[in-house]
Structure 1
Amino acid sequence: MSNQLPVINLMGPTASGKTALACELYEQGDYELISVDSALVYQEMDIGTAKPTQAEQERYPHHLIDIITPLEVYSAAEFVEDASRLIDDIHAKGKTPILVGGTMLYFKALLEGLSSNLPSADYEIRAAIEFKGETEGWQAVYDELKSVDTLAAEKFKVSDKQRIIRALEVYKITGRPITQLQAEQPKKQPYRYNFYNYALVPDRVELHKRIELRLEKMWEIGFLNEVEYLMKKYDLDENLPSARSVGYRQAIDFLKNSDLSQEKMQEMKDKALFATRQLAKRQYTWLRSLQELHSFQTYFTIKQAQEDLRNLYG
């Protein structure tokens, strides 16, 4: 390893087995685990996020789990700041950090840095943009972006809702196009970390089976009860980032807007399954884009990853 501080990044789509693999590595040496998951940051959102149980967390402590309430917002910039501090703390103890998760935006931000001149998210502005999309159609939102930031509109499709929302949000906050602000981003300084990137990408058919089994277990152990509890305690709004997590959005819509019949419940479960598969698809896409820019070791089976990483870090 080089003189730079070593950091192990273990990435993969949802239900790929990366957390179990990270925990196995944790047992084999002087490591600490840092969660890279935008849903695990929320307190009391346990079942629907497949959060490690309390017993598992006691045995395999994870940093950056349960750090905010479902009413709060946690940005990629905040993640980079928190993760960098933790990485330094872990190295100061003579240990090596293992970052594990599926939020590829967080990994990208850590690997490549973020534009320091972009504003933080504004919940009210984002909600207004989403409301326009739902009432007037996303073509109208896309056209609005096109009128203020032609370059951004050329990069996006009408279906790229989150990217369109962010670009419009930045314009409404700053009065300047996001592409212009990004172009003014300072050149990155040499990074003090040496990243060892590993991707666990099972066959799609196998992954879809794992996703289906995970969701079935979630329903069985009370996911719907968890969502009901969270709605009562926090008065969850479906536009909050926490409530947009896959599974939660579909469950909230079912509880608020349906007759709660078995037919509607099955429809909700089917939507949650579809949304989780779509999440995995997006994660694969993010991984491919990261692999084009950074050095990676990719594993297509958990067994292959276990054997290789055990030899490397055991």
Structure 2
Amino acid sequence: MNKKIKKLPIAIFLMGTTASKKTYLATRLAKILPVELISVDSSLIYKKLNIGTDKPKKTDIFYEKHWLINIKEPYESYSVMEFYNDALKIMNNISKKGKIPLLVGGSMFYYNKLINTMSPLLPKANFKIRNMIKKKIDNQLYKSYHDMLKTIDIFSANKIHCNDIQRNLRALEIFFLTGKTLNEIKKIPGNKIPYRIYQFGLTYYDRQILYKNIENRIFKMLELGFEEEVKNLIKNKYLKINFPAIRCIGYKQMFLYILNQINYKEMIKNTTIATRHLAKKQLTWLRYWKNIYWFDSNHINKAYNDIIKFITKKIN
């Protein structure tokens, strides 16, 4: 390691599949290591969505130093560019205090942007532009956001699912703000973040044990009152079918059950399938990830001890 890299502050990335005890391990590490936690979870950003997102309780000793939780209303979107900027700012503040930012979560797209850098030309969300795009759809100039995107950026349209409103809208927004397609913007490199990043992966090596833990988590959510939580969100108009937060796994399924569009068994089945699909997607990301130290969630104490030894050595 050259001298310039060795002078950079340390950052820890604790990533892996859903239901793999990442947050549990992170909070244990925080009792020993000089770290503050940063959530890398696209669900935990939403206020009022607690049980279904398995959000840390406010009584937890590390809640106050677990950043990027409860920062958005359920009707608000949160782009990867916003995460990138927010995360870097918080990481810098933590490092200035002489501590280590420990990023924990399973939103691999977010991690990818931190590691592979963001194009400096990616613009922030612009609601005037989004409203202009929406009016074009409302006035039936185009059938959908995806239909509109096909006329402007066929490359992105072929990569984004036609029903993914948020990503289609973001690609359109980028074009109208910059005059460049999303693909053109992505090709413009940014600067690497100024950290020595140490990456640790966590999952159950036995896929059946992973799936069993996913099922256990879903039933635990139900026992804790998940149905009542979603009913209250709907009643108080905090959650609607077109809100970005509805994409958080479990909420759409429970929403449809409460509206009698699916039955209880279907709700559980659909939530399980969606969570399994997420885990497979996370593993697909991580299969090609470089410089990652893997641990089996079945041996969480080994992961805990090995990470402490590793980081302590790097600090000293």
> 1:178 corresponds to which letter in structure 2?
L
Among 98, 106, 109, the alignment partner of 2:102 is 98
Match of 2:304 in 1: 306
- 1:2 and 2:1 aligned: no
Contact 2:117 2:193 in 1 (8 A): no
> How far 1:266 sits from its partner (Å)?
1.6
SS in 1 for 2:236: helix
> Could you tell me how far apart the structure 1 residues matched to 2:184 and 2:226 are?
43
1:1-314 mapped onto 2 (5 Å cutoff): 2-58=6-62, 61-121=65-125, 145-153=149-157, 156=159, 161=164, 166-168=170-172, 170-171=174-175, 176-183=180-187, 185=188, 187-203=189-205, 204-258=207-261, 264-289=263-288, 291=289, 294-303=290-299, 304-313=302-311
TM-score by length of structure 2 reads 0.82
> How far 1:244 sits from its partner (Å)?
1.2
> Could you tell me how far apart the structure 2 residues matched to 1:116 and 1:181 are?
9
Q: 1:237 to 1:115 in 2, by over 3 A?
A: farther
> Could you tell me how far apart the structure 1 residues matched to 2:136 and 2:13 are?
34
> Could you tell me how far apart the structure 2 residues matched to 1:112 and 1:208 are?
30
Structure 1 unaligned spans of 5+? none
Contact 1:25 1:313 in 2 (8 A): no
> 1:108 corresponds to which letter in structure 2?
N
SS in 2 for 1:85: helix
> How far 1:198 sits from its partner (Å)?
1.0
> Could you tell me how far apart the structure 2 residues matched to 1:209 and 1:38 are?
23
> 1:149 corresponds to which letter in structure 2?
D
Comparing 229-238 and 166-175, the one that deviates more = 166-175
Contact 1:129 1:141 in 2 (8 A): no
SS in 2 for 1:19: helix
Q: 1:56 to 1:126 in 2, by over 3 A?
A: farther
> Could you tell me how far apart the structure 1 residues matched to 2:136 and 2:213 are?
35
> 1:205 corresponds to which letter in structure 2?
Q
Q: 1:50 to 1:158 in 2, by over 3 A?
A: closer
Q: 1:224 to 1:127 in 2, by over 3 A?
A: farther
Q: 1:44 to 1:59 in 2, by over 3 A?
A: closer
TM-score by length of structure 1 reads 0.82
> How far 1:223 sits from its partner (Å)?
0.4
Contact 2:38 2:101 in 1 (8 A): yes
> Could you tell me how far apart the structure 1 residues matched to 2:177 and 2:26 are?
40
Comparing 140-149 and 98-107, the one that deviates more = 140-149
> How far 1:70 sits from its partner (Å)?
1.6
Q: 1:211 to 1:190 in 2, by over 3 A?
A: closer
> Could you tell me how far apart the structure 2 residues matched to 1:119 and 1:129 are?
21
Contact 1:130 1:165 in 2 (8 A): no
**Kindly, what percent of the aligned residue pairs are identical?**
36
> 1:192 corresponds to which letter in structure 2?
P
Structure 2 unaligned spans of 5+? none
Report Cα offsets for 1:205-246 as digits up to 9, x if no partner. Answer: 111111100000100110011111112223422222111110
SS in 1 for 2:266: helix
* Structure 1 runs (4+) greater than 6 angstroms displaced: 125-131, 140-143
Number of aligned residue pairs: give it: 298
